Amino acid sequence: MDNSEEINDESDHDESSQVGYYTRSKRRKLTQNREEVTGVASSTGVEERKRKNPIMYIPSEIMQAIFNYISHHELSISIRMVNRRFKINAENILNLSFKRIEKKLNTLMKTTEVSLAYTQDDREIRGVVKLLNMLEVLQMQYSIVMSTIWRYVYNEYYKTNKSCMYGGLLIDSHNKFLWKFVHSPSELYAPAIIRDYALPLEVTKIIQLTKTFSVHFDKVNEEPFSKCLVYSGCKIIDILDCAKFAHRLYLDEKGGPNFFCAKYTYYFQNSWFVGLPIAMTKEMDWNQRQRMMHMRLRRIVLAHNDMLLQQTQYERELILRPDPTSRIKKPGNNVYTGYGDVVDTFFYYGVMNDVYRSLLNIGAYIQKFHLEEDNDEDEGDEEVQNQANNEQNDNVPRDNSEEDIFYRIAHLGFRMNIEVRCPTSYAPLNFLQKLDEQQQSILKKKHRIKGPSSINILFECEGASYPRLPTFYKYYFKPKHV
Protein backbone atom coordinates (compact mmCIF):
# COMPACT_ATOMS: atom_id res chain seq x y z
CA MET A 1 0.00 0.00 0.00
CA ASP A 2 1.35 3.48 -0.84
CA ASN A 3 2.08 5.97 1.93
CA SER A 4 -0.44 8.34 0.47
CA GLU A 5 -3.12 5.74 1.01
CA GLU A 6 -2.14 4.91 4.59
CA ILE A 7 -4.88 5.31 7.20
CA ASN A 8 -3.89 6.03 10.78
CA ASP A 9 -6.01 5.88 13.85
CA GLU A 10 -7.05 9.25 15.27
CA SER A 11 -5.71 8.41 18.75
CA ASP A 12 -2.23 7.72 17.37
CA HIS A 13 -2.18 10.90 15.34
CA ASP A 14 0.46 13.45 16.31
CA GLU A 15 -0.88 16.95 15.99
CA SER A 16 2.60 18.26 15.20
CA SER A 17 3.05 15.89 12.33
CA GLN A 18 1.84 17.01 8.95
CA VAL A 19 1.15 13.58 7.57
CA GLY A 20 -1.87 11.62 8.77
CA TYR A 21 -5.50 10.83 7.99
CA TYR A 22 -8.66 10.57 10.05
CA THR A 23 -10.60 7.28 9.95
CA ARG A 24 -13.57 7.71 7.59
CA SER A 25 -15.13 6.19 4.52
CA LYS A 26 -12.98 6.78 1.48
CA ARG A 27 -13.00 5.76 -2.12
CA ARG A 28 -10.31 3.39 -3.20
CA LYS A 29 -9.03 3.26 -6.69
CA LEU A 30 -9.28 -0.15 -8.22
CA THR A 31 -7.19 -1.56 -10.99
CA GLN A 32 -10.21 -1.80 -13.35
CA ASN A 33 -11.08 1.89 -13.05
CA ARG A 34 -14.05 1.14 -10.79
CA GLU A 35 -14.93 2.78 -7.51
CA GLU A 36 -15.79 1.06 -4.25
CA VAL A 37 -17.39 2.82 -1.32
CA THR A 38 -16.67 1.33 2.07
CA GLY A 39 -19.00 1.66 5.00
CA VAL A 40 -22.01 2.84 2.89
CA ALA A 41 -23.86 0.33 0.67
CA SER A 42 -24.88 2.20 -2.47
CA SER A 43 -24.98 1.11 -6.06
CA THR A 44 -26.33 2.35 -9.33
CA GLY A 45 -29.22 -0.15 -9.31
CA VAL A 46 -30.32 0.81 -5.81
CA GLU A 47 -30.19 4.52 -6.59
CA GLU A 48 -32.31 4.06 -9.72
CA ARG A 49 -34.79 1.93 -7.82
CA LYS A 50 -35.17 4.59 -5.16
CA ARG A 51 -36.04 7.16 -7.77
CA LYS A 52 -38.87 5.04 -9.22
CA ASN A 53 -42.31 4.29 -7.74
CA PRO A 54 -42.11 1.12 -5.61
CA ILE A 55 -45.63 0.02 -6.68
CA MET A 56 -44.28 -0.69 -10.14
CA TYR A 57 -42.16 -3.53 -8.74
CA ILE A 58 -44.90 -5.46 -6.95
CA PRO A 59 -46.24 -8.62 -8.66
CA SER A 60 -49.29 -8.38 -10.88
CA GLU A 61 -51.29 -10.62 -8.54
CA ILE A 62 -50.83 -8.17 -5.65
CA MET A 63 -51.58 -5.20 -7.90
CA GLN A 64 -54.83 -6.77 -9.04
CA ALA A 65 -55.71 -7.58 -5.42
CA ILE A 66 -55.33 -3.88 -4.64
CA PHE A 67 -57.38 -2.88 -7.68
CA ASN A 68 -60.24 -5.11 -6.51
CA TYR A 69 -60.94 -2.56 -3.78
CA ILE A 70 -61.54 0.10 -6.42
CA SER A 71 -64.83 0.42 -8.29
CA HIS A 72 -64.89 -0.78 -11.88
CA HIS A 73 -65.93 2.69 -12.98
CA GLU A 74 -62.73 4.18 -11.52
CA LEU A 75 -60.69 1.38 -13.07
CA SER A 76 -62.08 2.18 -16.51
CA ILE A 77 -61.85 5.98 -16.46
CA SER A 78 -58.79 6.58 -14.26
CA ILE A 79 -56.61 3.63 -13.28
CA ARG A 80 -56.16 2.12 -16.72
CA MET A 81 -55.05 5.53 -18.04
CA VAL A 82 -52.02 5.82 -15.71
CA ASN A 83 -49.47 3.72 -17.56
CA ARG A 84 -49.11 0.53 -19.54
CA ARG A 85 -48.85 -1.80 -16.54
CA PHE A 86 -51.86 -0.30 -14.82
CA LYS A 87 -53.75 -0.57 -18.11
CA ILE A 88 -53.02 -4.28 -18.50
CA ASN A 89 -54.04 -5.18 -14.95
CA ALA A 90 -57.10 -2.94 -14.85
CA GLU A 91 -58.40 -4.22 -18.19
CA ASN A 92 -57.86 -7.79 -17.07
CA ILE A 93 -60.09 -7.16 -14.04
CA LEU A 94 -62.74 -5.44 -16.16
CA ASN A 95 -62.87 -8.23 -18.73
CA LEU A 96 -63.04 -10.99 -16.12
CA SER A 97 -65.64 -9.16 -14.03
CA PHE A 98 -68.03 -8.74 -16.94
CA LYS A 99 -67.56 -12.37 -17.93
CA ARG A 100 -68.46 -13.49 -14.40
CA ILE A 101 -71.78 -11.64 -14.58
CA GLU A 102 -73.16 -14.19 -17.04
CA LYS A 103 -72.25 -17.06 -14.72
CA LYS A 104 -73.80 -15.32 -11.72
CA LEU A 105 -77.03 -14.60 -13.60
CA ASN A 106 -77.34 -18.21 -14.72
CA THR A 107 -76.69 -19.47 -11.19
CA LEU A 108 -79.29 -17.16 -9.68
CA MET A 109 -81.74 -18.14 -12.40
CA LYS A 110 -81.44 -21.83 -11.51
CA THR A 111 -81.64 -21.12 -7.78
CA THR A 112 -84.77 -18.98 -8.21
CA GLU A 113 -86.50 -21.62 -10.33
CA VAL A 114 -85.76 -24.26 -7.69
CA SER A 115 -87.09 -22.03 -4.91
CA LEU A 116 -90.38 -21.62 -6.79
CA ALA A 117 -90.92 -25.37 -6.62
CA TYR A 118 -90.76 -25.30 -2.80
CA THR A 119 -92.76 -22.12 -2.25
CA GLN A 120 -96.39 -22.48 -1.19
CA ASP A 121 -97.44 -19.02 -0.07
CA ASP A 122 -99.01 -16.98 -2.86
CA ARG A 123 -97.44 -13.70 -1.77
CA GLU A 124 -94.01 -15.27 -1.63
CA ILE A 125 -94.51 -16.81 -5.08
CA ARG A 126 -95.43 -13.39 -6.42
CA GLY A 127 -92.21 -11.86 -5.08
CA VAL A 128 -90.02 -14.68 -6.39
CA VAL A 129 -91.67 -14.46 -9.81
CA LYS A 130 -90.86 -10.75 -9.99
CA LEU A 131 -87.22 -11.52 -9.20
CA LEU A 132 -87.16 -14.18 -11.91
CA ASN A 133 -88.55 -11.67 -14.40
CA MET A 134 -85.72 -9.26 -13.63
CA LEU A 135 -83.08 -11.94 -14.17
CA GLU A 136 -84.54 -12.69 -17.59
CA VAL A 137 -84.41 -9.02 -18.53
CA LEU A 138 -80.76 -8.75 -17.49
CA GLN A 139 -79.82 -11.90 -19.38
CA MET A 140 -81.13 -10.37 -22.61
CA GLN A 141 -79.31 -7.11 -21.93
CA TYR A 142 -76.09 -9.04 -21.30
CA SER A 143 -76.41 -10.91 -24.60
CA ILE A 144 -76.77 -7.61 -26.48
CA VAL A 145 -73.55 -6.24 -24.99
CA MET A 146 -71.71 -9.49 -25.70
CA SER A 147 -72.82 -9.47 -29.35
CA THR A 148 -71.34 -5.98 -29.62
CA ILE A 149 -67.92 -6.54 -28.07
CA TRP A 150 -67.03 -10.24 -28.25
CA ARG A 151 -65.00 -9.95 -31.48
CA TYR A 152 -62.62 -7.47 -29.87
CA VAL A 153 -62.67 -8.47 -26.19
CA TYR A 154 -63.51 -12.16 -25.81
CA ASN A 155 -62.36 -13.48 -29.16
CA GLU A 156 -60.70 -16.84 -28.44
CA TYR A 157 -60.60 -18.03 -32.04
CA TYR A 158 -57.98 -15.75 -33.60
CA LYS A 159 -55.96 -12.59 -33.01
CA THR A 160 -57.61 -9.32 -33.87
CA ASN A 161 -57.71 -5.66 -32.87
CA LYS A 162 -57.95 -5.81 -29.11
CA SER A 163 -60.09 -3.64 -26.89
CA CYS A 164 -61.53 -4.14 -23.42
CA MET A 165 -64.82 -4.04 -21.57
CA TYR A 166 -64.32 -0.48 -20.36
CA GLY A 167 -67.97 -0.09 -19.32
CA GLY A 168 -67.06 -0.08 -15.64
CA LEU A 169 -70.27 1.70 -14.61
CA LEU A 170 -72.29 -1.02 -16.32
CA ILE A 171 -70.38 -3.70 -14.38
CA ASP A 172 -70.87 -1.84 -11.09
CA SER A 173 -74.61 -1.58 -11.76
CA HIS A 174 -74.81 -5.33 -12.34
CA ASN A 175 -72.87 -6.06 -9.17
CA LYS A 176 -75.10 -3.73 -7.17
CA PHE A 177 -78.18 -5.54 -8.43
CA LEU A 178 -76.68 -8.96 -7.72
CA TRP A 179 -75.75 -7.93 -4.18
CA LYS A 180 -79.28 -6.71 -3.47
CA PHE A 181 -80.72 -9.84 -5.04
CA VAL A 182 -78.87 -12.01 -2.51
CA HIS A 183 -78.96 -9.82 0.61
CA SER A 184 -82.12 -7.70 0.35
CA PRO A 185 -84.38 -8.98 -2.46
CA SER A 186 -87.41 -7.15 -1.05
CA GLU A 187 -85.91 -3.84 -2.23
CA LEU A 188 -85.97 -5.19 -5.79
CA TYR A 189 -89.40 -6.77 -6.10
CA ALA A 190 -91.21 -4.10 -4.04
CA PRO A 191 -91.63 -1.69 -7.02
CA ALA A 192 -92.98 -4.51 -9.20
CA ILE A 193 -95.56 -5.46 -6.54
CA ILE A 194 -96.68 -1.88 -6.00
CA ARG A 195 -96.93 -1.27 -9.75
CA ASP A 196 -97.12 -4.29 -12.04
CA TYR A 197 -94.33 -4.69 -14.60
CA ALA A 198 -92.36 -1.84 -13.05
CA LEU A 199 -88.62 -2.41 -12.69
CA PRO A 200 -86.31 -1.20 -9.91
CA LEU A 201 -83.86 1.60 -10.54
CA GLU A 202 -80.95 -0.84 -10.74
CA VAL A 203 -82.52 -2.68 -13.69
CA THR A 204 -83.66 0.43 -15.55
CA LYS A 205 -80.16 1.86 -15.19
CA ILE A 206 -78.63 -1.28 -16.68
CA ILE A 207 -81.06 -1.13 -19.60
CA GLN A 208 -80.11 2.47 -20.36
CA LEU A 209 -76.38 1.85 -19.95
CA THR A 210 -76.59 -1.14 -22.29
CA LYS A 211 -77.98 1.03 -25.09
CA THR A 212 -75.49 3.83 -24.47
CA PHE A 213 -72.43 1.59 -24.21
CA SER A 214 -73.28 -0.45 -27.33
CA VAL A 215 -73.69 2.66 -29.47
CA HIS A 216 -70.50 4.19 -28.06
CA PHE A 217 -68.46 1.04 -28.65
CA ASP A 218 -69.64 0.82 -32.27
CA LYS A 219 -68.80 4.44 -32.96
CA VAL A 220 -65.54 4.87 -31.04
CA ASN A 221 -63.91 1.44 -31.14
CA GLU A 222 -65.20 -0.41 -34.17
CA GLU A 223 -65.90 2.17 -36.85
CA PRO A 224 -62.37 3.71 -37.00
CA PHE A 225 -60.68 0.31 -37.50
CA SER A 226 -59.15 -0.02 -40.95
CA LYS A 227 -59.75 -3.79 -40.87
CA CYS A 228 -62.87 -3.95 -38.72
CA LEU A 229 -64.56 -7.31 -38.39
CA VAL A 230 -67.99 -6.12 -39.56
CA TYR A 231 -67.19 -6.08 -43.25
CA SER A 232 -69.09 -9.32 -43.78
CA GLY A 233 -72.20 -8.20 -41.93
CA CYS A 234 -72.11 -11.19 -39.60
CA LYS A 235 -72.38 -8.89 -36.62
CA ILE A 236 -75.96 -8.36 -37.76
CA ILE A 237 -76.53 -12.08 -37.26
CA ASP A 238 -74.97 -11.91 -33.80
CA ILE A 239 -77.45 -9.18 -32.87
CA LEU A 240 -80.43 -11.01 -34.36
CA ASP A 241 -79.50 -14.18 -32.45
CA CYS A 242 -80.16 -12.20 -29.25
CA ALA A 243 -83.85 -11.99 -30.18
CA LYS A 244 -85.34 -14.52 -27.81
CA PHE A 245 -88.81 -14.60 -29.35
CA ALA A 246 -87.96 -14.29 -33.06
CA HIS A 247 -88.47 -17.29 -35.31
CA ARG A 248 -85.15 -18.43 -36.80
CA LEU A 249 -84.71 -20.63 -39.83
CA TYR A 250 -81.25 -21.74 -40.96
CA LEU A 251 -81.66 -22.42 -44.66
CA ASP A 252 -78.00 -23.07 -45.43
CA GLU A 253 -74.77 -22.78 -43.51
CA LYS A 254 -71.41 -23.89 -44.86
CA GLY A 255 -67.94 -23.17 -43.66
CA GLY A 256 -64.45 -24.23 -44.62
CA PRO A 257 -60.91 -23.31 -43.66
CA ASN A 258 -61.02 -20.12 -45.70
CA PHE A 259 -64.66 -19.22 -46.42
CA PHE A 260 -68.10 -19.05 -44.85
CA CYS A 261 -71.47 -18.75 -46.59
CA ALA A 262 -74.94 -18.97 -45.11
CA LYS A 263 -78.61 -18.16 -45.63
CA TYR A 264 -80.88 -17.28 -42.71
CA THR A 265 -84.46 -16.20 -42.20
CA TYR A 266 -85.68 -14.30 -39.13
CA TYR A 267 -89.30 -13.43 -38.49
CA PHE A 268 -90.34 -10.78 -35.94
CA GLN A 269 -94.02 -10.90 -35.08
CA ASN A 270 -95.97 -7.79 -34.11
CA SER A 271 -93.26 -5.67 -35.73
CA TRP A 272 -92.72 -3.60 -38.83
CA PHE A 273 -89.78 -2.32 -40.82
CA VAL A 274 -90.16 0.06 -43.77
CA GLY A 275 -87.53 1.76 -45.92
CA LEU A 276 -88.71 4.75 -47.98
CA PRO A 277 -86.56 6.20 -50.79
CA ILE A 278 -85.92 9.91 -50.33
CA ALA A 279 -83.64 12.53 -51.80
CA MET A 280 -80.06 12.18 -50.67
CA THR A 281 -79.55 14.33 -47.60
CA LYS A 282 -76.00 13.49 -46.53
CA GLU A 283 -73.15 11.22 -47.44
CA MET A 284 -71.89 8.39 -45.22
CA ASP A 285 -69.06 5.97 -45.62
CA TRP A 286 -69.69 2.25 -45.43
CA ASN A 287 -68.59 1.82 -41.83
CA GLN A 288 -71.00 4.50 -40.66
CA ARG A 289 -73.91 3.07 -42.63
CA GLN A 290 -73.21 -0.36 -41.19
CA ARG A 291 -73.07 1.07 -37.69
CA MET A 292 -76.46 2.73 -38.13
CA MET A 293 -77.94 -0.58 -39.28
CA HIS A 294 -76.52 -2.30 -36.19
CA MET A 295 -78.08 0.35 -33.95
CA ARG A 296 -81.44 0.06 -35.73
CA LEU A 297 -81.63 -3.72 -35.47
CA ARG A 298 -80.40 -3.66 -31.88
CA ARG A 299 -83.30 -1.39 -30.95
CA ILE A 300 -85.79 -3.68 -32.65
CA VAL A 301 -84.39 -6.73 -30.88
CA LEU A 302 -84.48 -5.04 -27.46
CA ALA A 303 -88.03 -3.75 -27.94
CA HIS A 304 -89.22 -7.08 -29.34
CA ASN A 305 -87.72 -8.97 -26.40
CA ASP A 306 -89.24 -6.56 -23.92
CA MET A 307 -92.75 -6.65 -25.37
CA LEU A 308 -93.05 -10.41 -25.79
CA LEU A 309 -91.24 -11.17 -22.54
CA GLN A 310 -93.92 -9.34 -20.57
CA GLN A 311 -96.62 -11.46 -22.19
CA THR A 312 -94.66 -14.66 -21.48
CA GLN A 313 -94.09 -13.65 -17.86
CA TYR A 314 -97.79 -12.91 -17.44
CA GLU A 315 -98.77 -16.35 -18.73
CA ARG A 316 -96.20 -18.01 -16.48
CA GLU A 317 -97.52 -16.18 -13.42
CA LEU A 318 -101.03 -17.42 -14.22
CA ILE A 319 -99.73 -20.99 -14.06
CA LEU A 320 -97.66 -20.54 -10.91
CA ARG A 321 -100.47 -18.77 -9.04
CA PRO A 322 -103.64 -20.82 -9.63
CA ASP A 323 -105.41 -19.24 -6.64
CA PRO A 324 -104.03 -15.71 -6.44
CA THR A 325 -104.79 -13.53 -3.44
CA SER A 326 -104.54 -10.46 -5.65
CA ARG A 327 -105.54 -9.95 -9.27
CA ILE A 328 -102.90 -10.71 -11.88
CA LYS A 329 -102.89 -7.83 -14.33
CA LYS A 330 -102.19 -8.16 -18.00
CA PRO A 331 -99.34 -6.18 -19.57
CA GLY A 332 -100.33 -2.69 -20.56
CA ASN A 333 -100.65 -1.50 -24.12
CA ASN A 334 -97.12 -0.98 -25.35
CA VAL A 335 -95.76 0.20 -28.68
CA TYR A 336 -92.26 1.20 -29.73
CA THR A 337 -91.45 3.20 -32.84
CA GLY A 338 -88.19 4.42 -34.31
CA TYR A 339 -87.29 6.48 -37.34
CA GLY A 340 -84.34 8.08 -39.09
CA ASP A 341 -82.80 8.78 -42.47
CA VAL A 342 -79.53 7.41 -43.81
CA VAL A 343 -78.18 8.75 -47.12
CA ASP A 344 -81.15 8.21 -49.51
CA THR A 345 -83.46 6.09 -47.35
CA PHE A 346 -85.86 6.95 -44.55
CA PHE A 347 -86.44 4.12 -42.08
CA TYR A 348 -89.57 3.61 -40.00
CA TYR A 349 -89.72 0.61 -37.69
CA GLY A 350 -91.36 -0.53 -34.49
CA VAL A 351 -92.82 -3.26 -32.28
CA MET A 352 -96.06 -3.67 -30.34
CA ASN A 353 -97.28 -6.31 -27.91
CA ASP A 354 -100.26 -8.61 -28.35
CA VAL A 355 -102.45 -6.63 -25.96
CA TYR A 356 -101.92 -3.44 -27.89
CA ARG A 357 -102.60 -5.22 -31.16
CA SER A 358 -105.99 -6.43 -29.93
CA LEU A 359 -106.88 -2.90 -28.78
CA LEU A 360 -105.32 -0.92 -31.61
CA ASN A 361 -108.51 0.94 -32.44
CA ILE A 362 -108.79 2.06 -28.82
CA GLY A 363 -105.16 3.09 -28.72
CA ALA A 364 -105.60 5.13 -31.90
CA TYR A 365 -108.62 6.85 -30.42
CA ILE A 366 -106.70 7.73 -27.25
CA GLN A 367 -103.70 9.10 -29.12
CA LYS A 368 -105.89 11.08 -31.51
CA PHE A 369 -107.94 12.86 -28.85
CA HIS A 370 -105.28 12.93 -26.10
CA LEU A 371 -107.50 11.25 -23.53
CA GLU A 372 -104.57 9.60 -21.81
CA GLU A 373 -102.95 12.04 -19.42
CA ASP A 374 -100.33 9.71 -17.99
CA ASN A 375 -98.94 8.57 -21.31
CA ASP A 376 -95.14 8.34 -20.93
CA GLU A 377 -93.17 9.36 -24.00
CA ASP A 378 -89.44 8.94 -24.27
CA GLU A 379 -88.20 10.71 -27.36
CA GLY A 380 -84.67 10.46 -28.57
CA ASP A 381 -82.67 10.37 -31.74
CA GLU A 382 -84.52 7.95 -34.01
CA GLU A 383 -86.47 6.60 -31.05
CA VAL A 384 -90.01 7.09 -29.72
CA GLN A 385 -91.74 4.82 -27.25
CA ASN A 386 -95.36 5.11 -26.14
CA GLN A 387 -97.15 3.22 -23.38
CA ALA A 388 -100.80 3.12 -22.31
CA ASN A 389 -102.69 1.62 -19.39
CA ASN A 390 -105.44 -0.98 -19.63
CA GLU A 391 -107.68 0.65 -17.02
CA GLN A 392 -108.08 3.79 -19.11
CA ASN A 393 -108.71 1.85 -22.30
CA ASP A 394 -111.58 -0.14 -20.81
CA ASN A 395 -113.85 2.94 -20.72
CA VAL A 396 -113.17 4.10 -24.29
CA PRO A 397 -115.82 3.13 -26.87
CA ARG A 398 -114.72 1.21 -29.92
CA ASP A 399 -114.67 2.99 -33.24
CA ASN A 400 -115.47 1.02 -36.38
CA SER A 401 -114.97 3.81 -38.90
CA GLU A 402 -113.04 3.42 -42.10
CA GLU A 403 -110.08 5.27 -40.60
CA ASP A 404 -109.75 2.47 -38.08
CA ILE A 405 -109.22 -0.19 -40.73
CA PHE A 406 -105.53 0.69 -40.87
CA TYR A 407 -105.10 -0.26 -37.24
CA ARG A 408 -106.58 -3.74 -37.71
CA ILE A 409 -103.60 -5.11 -39.63
CA ALA A 410 -103.92 -8.81 -40.23
CA HIS A 411 -100.30 -9.49 -41.18
CA LEU A 412 -98.30 -7.37 -38.78
CA GLY A 413 -94.70 -8.58 -38.70
CA PHE A 414 -91.63 -8.53 -40.90
CA ARG A 415 -89.21 -11.11 -42.22
CA MET A 416 -85.49 -10.83 -42.87
CA ASN A 417 -83.85 -13.02 -45.51
CA ILE A 418 -80.08 -12.84 -45.13
CA GLU A 419 -77.31 -14.09 -47.41
CA VAL A 420 -73.72 -13.81 -46.22
CA ARG A 421 -70.42 -14.77 -47.78
CA CYS A 422 -67.12 -13.98 -46.11
CA PRO A 423 -63.88 -15.45 -44.72
CA THR A 424 -64.37 -17.82 -41.80
CA SER A 425 -62.77 -15.30 -39.44
CA TYR A 426 -65.80 -13.03 -39.94
CA ALA A 427 -68.36 -15.79 -39.23
CA PRO A 428 -71.03 -15.38 -36.51
CA LEU A 429 -70.32 -16.47 -32.96
CA ASN A 430 -72.84 -19.34 -33.03
CA PHE A 431 -71.09 -20.87 -36.01
CA LEU A 432 -67.60 -20.55 -34.52
CA GLN A 433 -68.78 -22.18 -31.30
CA LYS A 434 -69.94 -25.23 -33.26
CA LEU A 435 -66.50 -25.85 -34.78
CA ASP A 436 -64.61 -28.85 -33.43
CA GLU A 437 -61.27 -28.53 -31.66
CA GLN A 438 -59.24 -29.29 -34.77
CA GLN A 439 -61.01 -26.63 -36.83
CA GLN A 440 -60.65 -24.11 -34.04
CA SER A 441 -56.93 -24.81 -33.70
CA ILE A 442 -56.45 -24.31 -37.45
CA LEU A 443 -58.31 -21.01 -37.25
CA LYS A 444 -56.17 -19.86 -34.33
CA LYS A 445 -52.90 -20.72 -36.07
CA LYS A 446 -53.69 -19.25 -39.44
CA HIS A 447 -56.82 -17.27 -40.11
CA ARG A 448 -57.62 -15.37 -43.28
CA ILE A 449 -59.37 -12.04 -43.42
CA LYS A 450 -58.80 -11.38 -47.11
CA GLY A 451 -61.36 -12.50 -49.60
CA PRO A 452 -64.81 -11.66 -50.99
CA SER A 453 -67.22 -10.35 -48.38
CA SER A 454 -70.82 -9.44 -49.03
CA ILE A 455 -74.12 -9.18 -47.23
CA ASN A 456 -77.57 -9.18 -48.81
CA ILE A 457 -80.66 -8.63 -46.64
CA LEU A 458 -84.25 -8.52 -47.86
CA PHE A 459 -86.80 -7.02 -45.45
CA GLU A 460 -90.40 -8.12 -46.12
CA CYS A 461 -93.20 -6.31 -44.29
CA GLU A 462 -96.61 -7.25 -45.65
CA GLY A 463 -98.47 -4.97 -43.28
CA ALA A 464 -96.91 -1.93 -44.96
CA SER A 465 -99.27 -2.42 -47.91
CA TYR A 466 -102.23 -1.06 -45.92
CA PRO A 467 -100.89 2.50 -45.63
CA ARG A 468 -99.51 2.14 -49.19
CA LEU A 469 -95.88 1.96 -48.09
CA PRO A 470 -93.18 -0.20 -49.71
CA THR A 471 -93.38 -3.78 -48.48
CA PHE A 472 -89.79 -4.66 -49.46
CA TYR A 473 -86.45 -3.13 -48.65
CA LYS A 474 -83.13 -4.48 -49.87
CA TYR A 475 -79.97 -3.86 -47.92
CA TYR A 476 -76.97 -4.85 -49.95
CA PHE A 477 -73.41 -3.73 -49.75
CA LYS A 478 -70.26 -5.35 -51.01
CA PRO A 479 -67.19 -3.79 -49.43
CA LYS A 480 -63.73 -3.75 -50.91
CA HIS A 481 -61.45 -6.70 -50.31
CA VAL A 482 -59.62 -6.29 -47.04
| pLDDT tens for the chain, residues 1 to 482 | 444 443 334 444 444 444 444 444 545 555 555 544 444 444 555 555 555 667 777 888 898 899 999 999 999 999 999 888 889 999 999 999 999 999 999 999 999 999 988 888 888 888 899 999 999 999 999 999 999 999 889 988 877 778 899 999 999 999 999 999 999 888 888 887 878 778 899 999 999 999 999 999 999 888 877 666 666 678 899 999 999 999 999 888 887 777 888 999 999 988 999 998 888 877 788 888 888 899 999 999 999 999 899 889 889 988 888 888 888 888 888 888 888 888 888 999 999 886 555 444 334 334 433 434 443 333 334 666 655 544 444 444 444 444 454 445 556 899 999 999 888 888 888 888 888 888 888 787 766 666 778 889 999 998 888 878 889 999 987 765 44
Let me know if residue 28 belongs to a domain.
yes
Instruction: Give dist(CA 72, CA 95) in Å, integer.
Output: 10
Taking CA atoms, 97 is separated from 49, 60, 101, 148, 160, in Å, by: 33, 17, 7, 17, 21
3-state class (DSSP) for residue 226: coil
The total number of structural domains that make up the chain: 1
Domain that holds residue 9: 3-43
Let me know if residue 10 belongs to a domain.
yes
Q: CB under 8 Å to 383, separation ≥6 — which residues? A: 299, 338
DSSP string covering 16-50: T-S--------EEE-TTS-EEESSS---HHHHHHH
Taking CA atoms, 370 is separated from 366, 406, 468, 472, in Å, by: 6, 19, 26, 33
Instruction: Give dist(CA 262, CA 402) in Å, integer.
Output: 44
Q: Which residue, 65, 136, 135, 143, is CA-closest to 98?
A: 143
Let me know if residue 12 belongs to a domain.
yes
Instruction: Give dist(CA 272, CA 348) in Å, integer.
Output: 8
Q: What is the pLDDT of residue 147?
A: 93
Helix intervals (H) in 118-259 = 122-153, 168-183, 186-194, 201-216, 234-240
Q: What is the pLDDT of residue 366?
A: 40
Let me know if residue 216 belongs to a domain.
no
Let me know if residue 33 belongs to a domain.
yes
Instruction: Give dist(CA 223, CA 231) in Å, integer.
Output: 11
Task: Let me know if 24 is exposed, middle or buried by CB neighbors in 10 A (0-12, 13-18, 19+).
Answer: exposed
Q: CB under 8 Å to 168, separation ≥6 — which residues? A: 71, 72, 73, 74, 75, 76, 77, 94
Instruction: Give dist(CA 452, CA 450) in Å, integer.
Output: 7
Instruction: Give dist(CA 272, CA 367) in Å, integer.
Output: 19
Q: Show the CA angle centred on residue 435, arms to residues 433 and 437, nearest 5°.
A: 105
Q: What is the pLDDT of residue 13?
A: 43
Q: How many CB atoms lie within 10 A of CB 355?
A: 20
Do the Cβ atoms of 223 and 288 come closer than 8 Å?
A: yes
Q: What is the pLDDT of residue 195?
A: 81
Let me know if residue 425 belongs to a domain.
no
Taking CA atoms, 261 is separated from 149, 294, 428, 443, in Å, by: 22, 20, 11, 16
Do the Cβ atoms of 75 and 94 come closer than 8 Å?
A: yes
The helix or strand, by DSSP H or E, that contains position 248, with its residue range, turns out to be strand 247-255
- Rounded (10°) angle between helices 186-194 and 122-153: 110
Instruction: Give dist(CA 457, CA 258) in Å, integer.
Output: 23
Do the Cβ atoms of 330 and 317 come closer than 8 Å?
A: no
Let me know if residue 299 belongs to a domain.
no
**Residue-wise burial string across 135-157, b where 16 or more C-beta atoms lie within 10 A, e elsewhere:** bbbbbbbbbbbbbbbebbbebeb
Q: What is the pLDDT of residue 417?
A: 95
Q: What is the pLDDT of residue 182?
A: 93
